Amino acid sequence: MVRPTILGPALTVLLLAGPVAFGLAGTVLPAFGIAPGFGGGGFSLHYFRELFAQPALFCSITLSLSSGLACAVLSLLIVMLFTAAFAGTATFRRMQHLLGPLLSLPHAAAALAIAFLIAPSGMIMRLISPELTGWQRPPDLLIVHDRLAFSMIGALVAKEVPFLLLMTLAALPQAPVERVRQLTGALGYGRIAGFIHGAWPGIYRQIRLPVFAVIAFASSNVEVALILGPTQPPTLAARLVTWMGDPDLSQRHLASAGALLQLLVTGLALCIWIGMEHLLAALRNKAACAGLRMRRDGPLQVFSLAAMVISAGAIFAGLGALAFWSFAGLWQFPDFLPSGFTLRNWMKALPRVVEPLGTTLLVGVVSALIAALLTVLCLVHEDRTGKRAGRGAEALIYLPLIVPQVTFIFGLQFLLVASGWLATLPALLFAHLVFVMPYAYLCLKDPWRSFDRRYEQVAAGLGKSPMTTLFRIRLPMMLRPLLVLFAIGFSVSVGLYLPTVLIGAGRLTTITSEAVALASGGNRRIIGVYAFFQMLLPVAGFAIATLVPALIFRRFRGMQV
């Protein structure tokens, strides 16, 4: 018997796999010169030859590959050490509170914040100049846009650590951390070594896909690369977007060929990572068999805490500086504070913010709502059929997060041009939904499955239909996780850059796409205004998710947190 709820999983599969599959097809065709409408001349390898003739292409590939892997190694290391050293402590719980705001902040805003902090004329230099350095002018140092992409990797790590930590948190309940700690402690292992030997393998198995997503994003992201990445040459993905935006239409073939190359590069990064997994696991086993106990791991513990605090602190400090800039009058180096404050920047920027703000809100709210609906349908279907989503389904959820965005968004854009839907709201919504959906599902699945089903049994015993039970019992009691899903979905949509730029085609703009566009001009005052909205929107989403249940449940003692 086919249940109506089958719609949930069916639509979700379509939504996640469809765009990726069709998008890839739409990228492959122009790459090989087959493109009705672009004047492609039939199958040829011409564009690949042209691609490999581009100056310094190998350099761009190396940058993408190394920054992807470096970001994954660093962020995973920090998360692992921090969890090992602090899981179950008050410090750990305090850090959890910072997760929400850090996670929901768009990558672009974090990159801008860090740029404002570390640039030669940035806040850190202003703080120590001229007193400590003697500099009356910013030093001539290549800090932002540095050739080895250190600043870009730093910003990516600062943004990915909260994501991996959240995923680790979700996996922690299944890991017997406390008992492992007692046992390994009794055997004389240090906190960190005991955790890595005893609890980490089980946790890592569960966060493997998120780690893949981190590698994929870091090796193919565009907005952070544009704001902080090297410029001569830029990373592969940043160059692709430049080609894609070239008015000369033949460049799109080149961009599509490049997008397939990006797919290979990200694939290679993942292969290298899998190789590293084996290597490191073998090393760990060797260490365990050799009885390496690492009793004095105090410095490591301090390092992990410092890394956490610095990465979170840098983003918050940079955002604070940005907010200051938006009200700043003249503010010259090395002054730590502006010489005056003015509302002029806001007055100038606000009228222009209205339209992108409207688009951001509309697309964010609607895509989060649709994602919530589909997720609930999927989970209800799971309950009714008693079949949990298996490993394959789980991988499918991560598909849009692991296939580099450029590779299939290019193709989607191509298909939308052909169908005349480019730069329309429905198309933009659809593109956002592809990325909002995975997070929505990931965020609701655990709370949903841990719901006490005896409430439903009681309702059934009282003769209520499954529908009534769902709407009168289950959903109201799940209001809190549902609203968190909504807040996360909304913040994911707010932060999306590449899908917005390519599918909105410059005519539909959001706060994030405008902020990145403004970043190149370095007008810190106007960027400050946009970054403020980038901060405000997700925070507002989370505020609603916190306040609404508090209001609704104020007379229900059992529902108080």
Partner 1 sequence: MTLALVLNQPRNIPEVFVLKKLTIALSLSFVGSLAHADSPDIANWESVVEEARGQTVYFNAWGGAENINAYLEWVGEELRDCCEIELAHVKLDDTANAVAKVVAERAAGRDQGGSVDLIWINGENFASMKERGLLLEKGWAEKLPNWLFVDIANKPTVLTDFTIPVEGQAAPWGMAKLVFFYDSARLEEVSLPSSADELLDWAEANPGRFSYPSPPDFIGSSFLKQVLIETVGDPTVLQQPADEADFDTASAPLFDYLDRLHKVAWREGRAFPQNYPAMKQLLADGELEIIFAFNPSEASNAIANFELPDTVRSFTFEEGTLGNTHFVAIPYNASAKAGALVTANFLMSPEAQLRKQDPEVWGDPTVLGMDKLPETLQADFAALDLGIATLAPEELGPVLEEPHPSWMERVEEAWKRRYTVGN
By beta-carbon proximity to partner 1, the closer residue of 37 and 41 is: 37
Q: Are 401 and 217 a contacting pair, CB within 8 Å?
A: yes
Query: Which is nearer to partner 1, 378 or 427 (by Cβ)?
Result: 427
Cα 127 from Cα 141, distance rounded (Å)? 17
Alpha carbon 460 to its chain centroid, in Å, reads: 41
Shortest separation between residue 174's beta carbon and partner 1, angstroms: 44
Site for partner 1 in 210-239 (CB under 8 A): 230-233
Does residue 420 bind partner 1 (CB under 8 A)? yes
SS3 of the chain: helix, strand, coil, percent, to 5: 75, 0, 25
Taking the least distance from each CB to partner 1, the nearer of 397 and 527 is 527
* Binding positions for partner 1, 500-539, rule CB under 8 A: 501-502, 505-507, 517, 520-526
Q: Is 66 in the site for partner 1 (CB under 8 A)?
A: no
Residue 142 interacts with partner 1 (CB under 8 A)?
yes
Decide if 101 contacts 183 (C-beta within 8 A).
no
Q: Smallest gap, in angstroms, from Cβ of residue 524 to partner 1?
A: 7
Distance from C-alpha of 475 to C-alpha of 53, rounded to nearest angstrom: 57
Return phi, psi of residue 133, to 5°: -100, -25
- The CA–CA distances, whole Å, from 403 to 274, 397, 421, 489 equal 16, 11, 23, 19
Indicate the angle between helix axes 7-31 and 391-402, nearest 10 degrees.
40
Q: How far is the CB of 339 from partner 1 (least distance, A)?
A: 9
Binding window for partner 1 (CB under 8 A); candidates: 12-20, 21-29, 53-61, 107-115: 53-61
Q: Which is nearer to partner 1, 61 or 261 (CB)?
A: 61
Query: Taking the complex as a whole, how short is the minimal distance between the CB of residue 488 and partner 1, in angstroms?
Result: 27
The reply on whether position 425 binds partner 1 by CB under 8 A is no
Taking CB under 8 A as the rule, does residue 179 contact partner 1?
no
Near partner 1 by CB under 8 A: residue from 342, 425, 540, 544 = 342
Are the CB atoms for 346 and 326 separated by under 8 Å? yes
Instruction: Check: CB of residue 184 under 8 Å from CB of residue 193.
Output: yes
55 touches partner 1 by CB under 8 A: yes
134 belongs to the binding site for partner 1 (CB under 8 A): no
Alpha-carbon span 86 to 100, nearest angstrom? 19
Q: How many residues bind partner 1 (CB under 8 A)?
A: 60
Q: Is 329 in the site for partner 1 (CB under 8 A)?
A: yes
> Residue 462: what are its φ and ψ, rounded to 5°?
-85, 5
Interface of this chain with partner 1, residues 20 to 39, rule: CB under 8 A: 37-39
Q: Is 540 an interacting residue with respect to partner 1 (CB under 8 A)?
A: no
Binding mask 268-307 for partner 1 (x = CB under 8 A): ----------------------------------------
Q: Which CB sits closer to partner 1, 424 or 546?
A: 424
8 Å CB contact between 81 and 300: yes
From the CA atom positions of the chain, what is the Rg in Å?
25
Applying CB under 8 A, the span of 79-87, 245-253, 451-459, 474-482 interacting with partner 1 comes to 245-253
CA distance 402 to 271: 13
What's the CA gap between 47 and 82, in Å, rounded?
A: 47
Smallest gap from residue 30 Cβ to partner 1 (A):
11
Name the burial class of residue 365, with classes exposed (0-12), middle (13-18) and buried (19+) by CB atoms within 10 angstroms of its CB.
middle
Query: Judged by CB under 8 A, does residue 332 bind partner 1?
Result: yes
Asked if residue 409 binds partner 1 (CB under 8 A), the reply is no
348 binds partner 1 (CB under 8 A): yes
- 330 lies in the binding site for partner 1 (CB under 8 A): yes
Rounded Cα distance between 373 and 365, Å, is: 12
* Structure tokens given for 350: 């606000």
Q: What is d(CA 126, CA 505) in angstroms, rounded to the nearest whole number? A: 39
Between CA 8 and CA 12 the distance in angstroms is 6
Length of the chain: 561
Q: How far is the CB of 59 from partner 1 (least distance, A)?
A: 6
Question: Tokens 């989970």 — which residue?
Answer: 379
Quick check: 434 and 499 in contact, CB under 8 A?
yes
- Nearest to partner 1 of 418, 559 (CB atom): 418
Q: Does 3 bind partner 1 (CB under 8 A)?
A: no
- Does residue 59 interact with partner 1 by CB under 8 A? yes
Contact positions toward partner 1, by CB under 8 A? 37-39, 55-56, 58-59, 120-121, 136-138, 140-142, 145, 147, 230-233, 241, 244-249, 252, 328-333, 340, 342, 344, 348-349, 352, 413, 417, 420, 422-424, 501-502, 505-507, 517, 520-526
